[in-house]
Amino acid sequence: MLFRSWASAVESPWPDVASVADHVGVRHLVVTRHALVRQVLADPATYRPDNALDAVTPMPVTALRVLAGHRFRLPPTLANNSGASHPQIRAIVADALHPTRVAAQRPWLTALVRERVARLTATLDAGQPADLYADLAADLPLLVLARLVELPDAPVGAVKEFARAALELFWAPLDADRQLALAAEVGRFHSVLRDFAATGGGLAAELRAAGHPPDVVVGALFFLLVAGQETTSQFLTLLLHRLACEPAVRAGLRTGEVAVADVVEEGLRLEPPIVTWRRVATVDGLLGGQPVPAGTSLVLWLARAGRDPAVVESPDEFRPGQRGSRRHLAFGAGAHRCVGDVLARMEAAVVVAGAAPLLDGVTVVRPPWCPDNLTFRMPDAFVVRRAPGSTGLTGS
């Protein structure tokens, strides 16, 4: 269950809190109910985020040597920082992602999506298949992020490869050969980031000016480059795929009876790109009646919490605007709640508004496939083709 939690059937019963061993025998306490997940997230004194970026497959010495060769270090900065520096680093990042700055990117992104949708429409009109991951969703969030925070001048493909390698290295079940290859990829990019952190403008310059040491600047950029773009491109892909299977919702979007913002929230609830997130218990305690010894790793099943019948009217149905739809925990909660939520929502709204019509009259040739991972969905492709005889103007 741990590495394919999104595939677990909704109707299959699951305890509120259950101890589960992972592939290397480490036990985790999986927390399922919305109220309990929220309780953990809201109590950083009892449940710290220190293990948020720990590798779930322990790294062999060979891989650690490769990382050390690149002087790889990941000090607590954002998601895994329970220390005194967190609020200040977070405030600087939050300023860079301020809603006003995000809103200013909207016209640019809307124009770019329109251009891409026109190209994809021509492809579909010509009877060709179109990959809505590769040709629409994959790089949009990175392009927007680069404009907001100034990023190293690396090719988009290289950043995407690095980010996906990092998600695999830290959150996937792996063998030693794969770890070695991923460590080389992640280490190489870390070196690029270190150079940029020392001289770059934008967010890097802000963090330096606030007196943060080079390792912290690198750590913040590292996390942002992964969390700040890969998550959203995964979400866009999963949401478009879901919409392809929800003709009534697309019809509602066309007539204006369904609001784009409600589709985005229901998407975050039912198709979150981050399915679990971790905390570690600092003291002996009780959760949902279960003893939690200090040091226990808690796996908060965010995706399942979003389908808790105690919170949502029709947990398994994609019904934008339904009661409880917005109470998902896709962005976490409390002191470490996602600082990029406004940006992610804006990007998703622009893509839904611009690209949902593409899905009318198509058949899914290749649904997104997601590799084993504790936390991230990482869809690899989403290929559609216009059904023969369809004009694309009617929903089906």
Nearest to 202 by CA among 141, 144, 139, 146: 146
Asked if residue 41 binds ligand HEM (CB under 6 A), the reply is yes
Asked if residue 165 binds ligand HEM (CB under 6 A), the reply is no
Nearer to ligand HEM, 344 or 349 (CB): 344
Q: Angle, nearest 10°, between helix axes 61-69 and 176-199?
A: 20
Q: For 112-127, give the DSSP string.
A: HHHHHHHHHHHHHHTT
Cβ neighbours, 10 Å, residue 45: 8
CB 393 → ligand HEM: shortest distance, Å? Answer: 30
CB 199 → ligand HEM: shortest distance, Å? Answer: 22
Asked if residue 145 binds ligand HEM (CB under 6 A), the reply is yes
Q: CB under 6 A: which stretch of 28-36, 239-247, 268-276, 303-311 binds ligand HEM?
A: 268-276
Query: Using the rule CB under 6 A, which residue among 72, 196, 301, 331 binds ligand HEM?
Result: 331
CB 136 → ligand HEM: shortest distance, Å? Answer: 16
SS3 245: coil
**d(C-alpha 102, C-alpha 348), whole Å:** 13
Asked if residue 336 binds ligand HEM (CB under 6 A), the reply is yes
Asked if residue 333 binds ligand HEM (CB under 6 A), the reply is yes
CB 285 → ligand HEM: shortest distance, Å? Answer: 19
Pair 306, 284: CB distance under 8 Å: no
Query: Using the rule CB under 6 A, which residue among 343, 346, 358, 383 binds ligand HEM?
Result: 343
Query: Using the rule CB under 6 A, which residue among 32, 57, 82, 231 binds ligand HEM?
Result: 231
Asked if residue 334 binds ligand HEM (CB under 6 A), the reply is yes
**d(C-alpha 16, C-alpha 24), whole Å:** 23
**Inter-CA distances, 377 with 108, 136, 236, 301, Å:** 28, 18, 12, 13
SS3 188: helix
CA angle 320, 323, 324 (to 5 degrees): 95
Q: For 271-326, give the DSSP string.
A: S-SB--EEEEESS-EEETTEEE-TT-EEEE-HHHHTT-TTT-SSTTS--TT-TTGG
Query: Using the rule CB under 6 A, which residue among 37, 344, 350, 355 binds ligand HEM?
Result: 344
Q: Cα dihedral sign for 230, 236, 239, 240? A: negative
CB 395 → ligand HEM: shortest distance, Å? Answer: 26
Asked if residue 304 binds ligand HEM (CB under 6 A), the reply is no
CB 60 → ligand HEM: shortest distance, Å? Answer: 28
Asked if residue 227 binds ligand HEM (CB under 6 A), the reply is yes
Residues of this chain that bind ligand HEM (CB under 6 A): 41, 49, 78-79, 90, 93, 97, 145, 224, 227-228, 231-232, 235, 272-274, 277, 330-334, 336-340, 343-344
